[in-house]
Every structure is written in structure tokens, then in C-alpha cells.
Amino acid sequence: MTTTILLIRHGQTDWNRDGRWQGHNDIPLNQTGLEQAQALARRLAGWPVTHLYSSDLQRASQTAVILGNALRLEPVLDPIWRERDVGAFGGLTSPEVAATFPDIWAKRLTGILDPPEGETYEAMHHRAGQALNQLLGHHNGDMVAVVSHGGLLHAVAAHVLGTNADQYSRLSFRGNTGLSIIEVHDGHATLVRLNDTSHLE
């Protein structure tokens, strides 16, 4: 029996548009993000999704409500699917982070950035594994959708692929409402689709 997990990044916010680190800052979808969520909902409306989960941050939950209306499902909000807390990076653009924290920013070329006052990559990676295992423990043979965030989805993919922290930047989850799909059969998980935004074309 195959369990299918649809991993979805939230729609666009003004901070996405402006290139600002969001983390736990609770920024709503902008008009473009609402339209992206509607396009995703039209795409998935006929899919046999049985359960819908979402981060409790509003950019994800707003996306999930629009999707849930198309699927006739009520999203279950769970903070385990939240974005990484980016601490002192919150609200800054990457050039501003580089100027303010040059030593930390330099590490992006060889490893993982751990923002001051934020959640470490190790902690986020552990949380992502818990979220994935929790999902698989409750659903066997179902198609389940989760609306979350780029950083957390990176970490889920790292669990599936068995990649090390220094390979974090080799995948992209930057596409708003990007769809990634994991199939799990006999305990073996396979990433079969990554950051598909064809519904926006």
C-alpha cells in the first residue's frame, strides 16, 4: 500500500516579494499569493486527498483554507509544520543579513546558517523528522496534503533523501505554492516531484 504526501509551500507574501526572511513573523498572503493558492486549488481539486494539514502561520493557513475549499476538507493547523524561527534575520533581506552578520553569512558556502536567537538547523531537521513520522504514523495508504514553508520542506526532503546538512542548498523550494510529492511504500520513501509550479504558468 502506498502513502502519498503532497508537500506544498504557501503562496506569496509581500516579504517573499521583497526578499525578506520571514521565519515566525506572521505575514499574510498578498494578492498574488491568493491568486497562486487559487491556481493550486484548481489543479488539485480532483485529487483524492483524504486529509489536509497546515502550519498555523497565516501565509500557510490561508493557502490551506483555499485548497481545503476545493478539496472539501478542513485544514488541521499544527505548529510542527511552521517555518524555522530565523531569529535576528527576521525582516531582513539577504544583503542586509550579509552586512549585519558577515561571519555567519560566510558559512552558507560550506554549511548551514544558524541565525542568532533563532532555531538551529539541527533542531529544525529533528522537528521535520518528527512531523514526517507523525504523518506516516496516522496515515497508511492515504493521500495527504501539507501546506508548509520552504525551510521546513527542505528539512523533510533531507530526511527522505538522506542528505547531509552541507548539501542543504542543492534543492530549491523557493516557488510559492510549489508542489513536491513523496511516495512511501513498504517503509521506503521516494521523492517523486520537486517544487512543481506548473499551475502558475
Distance CA 63, CA 165 (A): 29
Average pLDDT, the chain: 94
For the segment 135-155, the average pLDDT, to the nearest whole number, is 96
Angle at 150 between CA 149 and CA 152, to 5 degrees: 70
Distance between terminal CA atoms of the chain?
33
Beta bridge partners of 3: 184
User: What does the pLDDT average to over 102-130?
Assistant: 89
Domain boundaries, the chain: 2-200
The reply to whether 125 belongs to the active site is no
Measured distance CA(175)–CA(153) in Å, rounded: 12
pLDDT value at residue 112: 79
Instruction: Categorize the per-residue pLDDT at 201 as very low, low, confident or very high, splitting at 50, 70 and 90.
Output: very high
Q: Between vectors from CA 51 to CA 45 and to CA 53, what angle results, nearest 5°?
A: 100
Is residue 168's pLDDT more than 90?
Answer: no
Catalytic residue among 10, 125, 149, 154: 10
The catalytic position among 83, 149, 154, 159 is 83
* CA 173 from centre of chain: 7
Determine the Cα–Cα distance for residues 155 and 149; give it in Å rounded to an integer.
Answer: 10
pLDDT tens-place string over residues 78-113? 999 999 999 999 999 999 999 999 999 988 776 678
pLDDT at 166 over 70: no
- pLDDT attached to residue 164: 76
Domain 2-200, CATH: 3.40.50.1240
The predicted structure's pLDDT at residue 171: 78
Lowest mean pLDDT among 56-60, 92-96, 146-150, 166-170: 166-170
Helix axes 58-71, 31-44, angle to 10 degrees: 30
The 3-state DSSP class for residue 67 equals: helix
Stated pTM of the model: 0.95
Question: Does 83 participate in catalysis according to the annotation?
Answer: yes
